[in-house]
Structure 1
């Protein structure tokens, strides 16, 4: 068999690699029993089957169709056509020059026909599907003689997780080949991928980045999708190229491990529409600039809406718990039954949970509503200061007017003045052509919430004080004052009195803001943790929230929650996704980072308050004392003891099915390797669980995939797990 050794190759692919790609494809076709002179299978799908295929791929077609029309404008009059196929190689849609489309129809390059290699031999569509990379097949590089009048450039289309969606192809008369065609096809495929990503992940946080800021917003920008827990969920191909990662490697990273930041920091940075690009640094020192995109309304921290389902819980019935939820998208619904929806209270009533401290805060807040008394809310980050401010607004006469929140810490100092007071056209370089109204004017008639007021620059504090005194604001670049009627609520985690002593905060502004000071307690000091946790789950799983197991709730009670309700919401959001389809959340569904934090806290507490030697339980590790499963891989046993192994080495903590396993007394010294000890421990857990992989994974605190993988690696050659 002779193979045409053309010098034509796809961009970024050398001639040798291209020739090798075509050779391997021809060999596959021969192995499939295809011959170069046979008449290909030209039978298209029945109309009903084609309609079904188009319906299954409706989103792909929706995003691809306008891009195909745009591409057609670039290649019009070149005797060519544009083809879109699904992931199986079936043509879904075509556009092109009419006379060439008619000619291509003679070789069944038309909707409903399959162009995978097993059907049409070597061709750009089928070979791109197999190789999963852009592919050029020119003239007699086609395996079948009937197709050798074509030159075809195809590029696969992937979703953000790297799954194949389909192929975009430009086919033309081989005499009209142009080297730029492949570049246009690749760019168009990436455009479709970016449209898909932005649409499919609209309610997820997305970072658009590049090392050069002028490329942000172009096809060269990288895009990564971030979950509420900071995990990287997917990316476009430009992001993978710039980061030098595969899709799988990227999904094993978090926002913190890869870029050195957190979801909360990103949200705070981009809360202002005037925020500058954020600087991101990779572990190797490379730097990028990034902008953030998402439906910011869904990201706003808010309470569970009225009408959410009630929760199954063993805690005595009390009023609904206050929550602070970063809602970046619905979690997968759990399968546990729920009670019928009930009407939940709104406003301050929603915050009444039975916790004495929260009850005192609510009662004080009620007394100053509609009294024109400013409110200052103090508390650690994540305690729900904005939620309280919004509840006060909802219960006031201003409830139907705007509630405008401004995070003074997230807006660059150079822009916060324009953000608050607005500006006229030409007020500063980069200003919008028609100017912009400030947040104070936007809040007219309603409530202005100044979050992190302690981070406001001193010069702006003077201007804000004047606005609060005179009830009018003058935009930058304007000589005209605008009257405003606003209720003002401030909030901060800082000690403003100490800042006043250091000259960092104006005393007159402090006394203007603190008509009533309310301090929100941190979550570790509240008595309503169980109710808050269940309400967060109700928000995450509106179709049926899983219960929180007793051992997990015990861990929650021991945690000091430095991130307060916001941290609790992130932990539960991840757990709800991991527990999808299961009736309750167990330790196996919790993030490893959280479990490590609990272990670290337990070790610190033990170091700070050591028990007398006689009072310490024998051979009970800290993990077991905290109710945590042992971590894998297992550390070597101390001298004089043996590693854990065998069914006798385990006893349920607290008893009962599903309880985590704690090691019993140390067995005799063993010469087994660490890998053998791990396998023995897994096998013992499986025996104790009656062979139930899911139950064993819960008891060990590892995933089912880990159990499958380790047992597979341990399988003898030719054996079965």
Structure 2
């Protein structure tokens, strides 16, 4: 059988077990770490867990119906995560293979996890090779996860344990590939990374799993590197970049002066020819504990998870967004004005690996058409009359390393759409007035209240841009259709009032539920902010009399069966009433309703529609 380590390592392990006094027939098992201690360990290892989590799921899917358990441990062999078919999970629990248990060789005898840690390399232990009799129904393969900023250090172990006919060579390839990907992500997001250098023996191997990756700190030293970089160059952590890659001063300058993401061929002092690519690191550094959160009420939960207040349509949108948030898939958010599209987009950004990068929002409907191009792409000095003397970087460049949110994308002029399409295809931008193209590293999220498919059909929106931007489309339901208004209103009150938030009475909540909310969540927030100011602190209850008069003066819907025409008529009437109260001041009325001036004008125009 083709095993990843020689039989000799099994013999050495058995000898160590015997010297430690382990009894092969021992059936005693401890319960592992206490829950509090395990939670602390999970928090300490949150960065490892965050990057391992999607790979664990992928391995589980690849080994479906093979009775296999995917296991992640830390450097002490303490189990952090397991995922597998129900049958193997149950059998694993019988032998204390669950989160919190310690599967070191000292405690569990010869096993794949403990052996991989002791040997510092991939290890397979098959059935009777296990030291303890109770483990001899298992077949296991495990691979250490290297510590990218500590040569020879081990961060944890990823393994596959099975009680079935697991193919060890196939499983080893799967585990090693997963470990390489985890290590690469740890290197790319190292907190001291100033830039990334990618190396490979050929240009074709760049941007593939075969490339080596080094990140350099502000002192010009290697802060972290992956296994491929070590194997190919012999580089070590802590060395200056020219020493690590054996570069002459001239070749070092060629590398550092090369354009970002443009491959360059180098020859080192050992007469090795290799290809290299210099890239900037992502603006995000360390992901939050993405694998530890469980509840939207938990302060450690991802921002997207915290948006879930009980509505089934919102929950579905959140779950879909979580699946693609770090997969370089453009997101298109559809929904009425004020329904929370920008809040949702910002939560996607803050839940992603770009969370420490900028979130730049631009409302395409709020900027006059001739100015959108300058706002987006920036301009050089003297590009046009009235341009700033020093020029402008533009929103695209401001979003480098983070997320660009294009709100009301349907209002973008057709001529500009083709320019944006080219930027998305080339991932570079040229400022107006000339200048070289500047590489971009951005995630794109768009939003629109308009049915863009209809605009594509009528020719006012480019089909190729639509398909480029809508990698995944999500719909945010309007407030009047949401089932979680009570929880949402209470959360808004808590955000506005802090720990002294009043509670809504049943009567006040009934008024909120009967209102058609033309301004959606934005209007609800304005209403609750005003109501909270009207409350006597001594009686922390929000009653109907604290709410604006328009909520009880006929501004109600006829329940869930209200027709679209009736709702639209109610919205138009409420908008007109707001304009009247504000003495015809459109800006003031828009602020009161929590909508933009453009939206207010559009709703007034609906009055003339059949």
The interval holding the TM-score normalised by the smaller chain is: 0.3 to 0.5
User: Given the two structures, how large is their TM-score scaled by the length of structure 1?
Assistant: 0.40
